[in-house]
């Protein structure tokens, strides 16, 4: 039997997975969904999915950009305005490298580690585009807890890889 907390993690991951399904299938991206949840009360502060915003955006990036806009600041300025600890739920482990040259999601989370305290992932990043991802290790070394939410692997991978050619 799942504990109430475990059920909350599954509910949050299911929400992120539903967001991932909104992402357009492309052969050069994983379709990922992400939500930022306030730890004290479970409030969803932001949500996003791959390519939701213009500019080859990742799900975590969309969450941060939308939250920054809501608080009339920049993504970099979020650290100054966000005071409540949050968890990031993301269907696929945050990227550590972007072939586009944009800031990787691991670095985006580490920039916000004063308030993003935990990251929950549904699957580790497949090695399709950039090889082995040391993101979990980098996050943990930076003081951000990383947890795995089991039970979604098959569906997450099917959604993430939609649009890829074999």
60 belongs to the catalytic site: yes
Asked whether 13 and 122 are in contact (CB, 8 A), the reply is yes
Q: What is the mean pLDDT of residues 84-107?
A: 91
What pTM was estimated for this model as a whole?
0.91
The yes-or-no verdict on residue 30 having pLDDT over 80 is yes
**Beta bridge pairs of residue 120:** 89, 147
Question: Half-sphere exposure (CA, 13 Å, Cβ side) for 155?
Answer: 16
- Fold of the domain spanning 4-160: Cytidine Deaminase; domain 2 (3.40.140)
The yes-or-no verdict on residue 6 having pLDDT over 90 is no
pLDDT score of 101: 78
Set 47, 60, 75, 125: catalytic member: 60
pLDDT score of 29: 84
Q: Long-range contacts made by residues 132-135, C-beta under 8 angstroms, separation at least 24?
A: 133/93, 133/95, 133/96, 133/97, 134/96, 135/93, 135/94, 135/95, 135/96, 135/104, 135/105, 135/106
* Domain residue limits, the chain: 4-160
Alpha-carbon radius of gyration of the chain:
15
The yes-or-no verdict on residue 90 having pLDDT over 80 is yes
Nearest to residue 6, comparing CAs of 128, 151, 105?
151
pLDDT score of 4: 42
Percent of the chain with pLDDT over 70: 90
Asked whether 19 and 59 are in contact (CB, 8 A), the reply is yes
- Distance (Å, whole) CA 29 – CA 92: 12
Phi-psi region at 51: left, alpha or beta (left = phi > 0; alpha = psi -120 to 50) = left
């Amino acid at each position: 039997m799942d504990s109430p907390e475990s059920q909350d993690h599954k509910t949050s991951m299911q929400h992120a997975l539903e967001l991932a399904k909104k992402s357009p299938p492309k052969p050069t991206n994983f379709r990922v969904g992400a939500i930022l949840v306030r730890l004290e009360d479970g409030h969803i502060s932001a949500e996003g999915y791959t390519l939701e915003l213009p500019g080859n955006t990742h799900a975590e990036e969309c969450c941060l950009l939308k939250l920054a806009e809501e608080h009339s600041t920049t993504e970099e300025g979020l650290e100054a305005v966000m005071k409540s600890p949050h968890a990031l739920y993301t269907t696929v482990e945050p990227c550590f490298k972007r072939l586009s040259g944009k800031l990787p999601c691991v670095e985006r989370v580490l920039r916000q580690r004063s308030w993003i305290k935990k990251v929950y992932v549904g699957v580790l990043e497949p090695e399709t585009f950039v090889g082995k991802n040391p993101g979990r290790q980098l996050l943990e070394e930076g003081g951000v807890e990383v947890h795995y939410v089991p039970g979604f692997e098959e569906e997450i991978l099917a959604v993430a890889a939609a649009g890829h050619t074999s």
